[in-house]
Structure formats: C-alpha cells, structure tokens
Amino acid sequence: MEIKISPEQGAKNDKYQFILQHLPALIGSETDAVANMANLVALLKESFGFFWVGFYIVKDNQLVLGPFQGPVACTRIAFGKGVCGGAWAQKKTLVVEDVHQFPGHIACSEHSKSEVVVPVFRNGEVIAVLDIDSQEFATFDSEDAVHLEKLMEWFAPYM
C-alpha cells in the first residue's frame, strides 16, 4: 500500500490532515509496535521531507532509539538531557527554533538546526517521544505542536 504526499504539495495543515486520515488504513489491525512506529516515521518523513524523524522509547529509565529515518542517531538519552530528555522530563512538547541556543542540546548531527519533540503518553506516563529535526532554523511552530500532539494521542494505543 502506498500512501504518500510530496513535501512540495499542500500546506502544513493539509499534510497533517492527510496523515491523520490515512494512518488508520496504514496501521490497520497491526499489533506490532515497531512496525507501527516505522510506518508512521516513514509517512511523516515522506510527507514533509524532514531531515530526521524517529522515536525514542522509554526503557530502563532512559530513552532508547527506536524506529527512525535519517542519518545515524544517538542511541541513548538520559532523563532531562537535551530536547528529547527535556520533553520527557517536562511531559510536554518542546519546539526549538535553534538547537544551538538550547541549553544542553545533544548534537546527534551537526546538520540539525531546529527540532520538535512530542511525548507519547500511556496512563499519564511518557512511554516514548517522537523527535523531528530540520536542517533549517525555525521550521516548527505551535501548529506543528498541536497536530503532532493530536497524532501522538491517536497513535499511543498502537505502541
């Protein structure tokens, strides 16, 4: 099944609506969390053309790299460290216009310039974070945060 929207097509809101509309068909009745995360990551990367998209999963009180698309990434991130660890600790989405200005930023790639990290919750606890990086400054804003939070709320039961 090919579900794809080109990064050049449509407004940001349209792309998020497309993803929310088509993701149920893509995931269907699949119960494997890794397969579901991998397909969502691919759909986000292909739809927007982001530099890096992936999940970090909470395991043994740290974030461990999960399915992703993009260059090689950091494997483990401590609680409260960097943007990912910060979103986990604060239990909220973090939108960073310039990662070089973020205190304690973990530079997994020198090409990353802006980032959004969205916690994934189950029973009020963070079970993972969705991390998206861009090679451009100020790529992400409150519109991305709202749509990605809605997406993660819908997606959490499939993890």
Torsion of CA 35, 106, 138, 44, to 10 degrees: -10
pLDDT bucket at 4, cuts 50 / 70 / 90? low
pLDDT-above-70 percentage for the chain: 93
The total domain count for the chain is: 1
Q: pTM for the complete prediction? A: 0.92
Report if residue 76 sits inside a domain: yes
In sequence order, which residues have a C-beta less than 8 Å from that of residue 61 and are 6 or more positions away?
79
The sheet with strand 62-69 has its strands ordered as 76-78, 62-69, 52-59, 125-134, 114-122, 94-96
What tens digit of pLDDT does each residue of 38-73 get? Answer: 999 999 999 999 999 999 999 999 999 999 999 999
Q: What stretch of H or E contains 135?
A: none
Residue 82 lies in a domain: yes
Residue 61 lies in domain: 51-158
Q: Is the pLDDT of residue 1 over 60?
A: no
Tell me, yes or no, whether 37 lies in a domain. no
Residue 118 placed within a domain: yes
Say if residue 9's pLDDT is above 70: no
Contact by Cβ (8 Å): 115, 98: no
pLDDT per residue as tens digits for the range 85-127: 999 999 999 999 999 898 877 777 677 899 999 999 999 999 9
CATH number for the domain spanning 146: value is: 3.30.450.40
In 94-104, which positions are buried (b, 16+ CB within 10 angstroms) versus exposed (e)? bbbbebeebee
DSSP letter for each residue of 58-106: EETTEEEEEEEESS---SEEETT-HHHHHHHHHTS-EEES-GGGSTT--
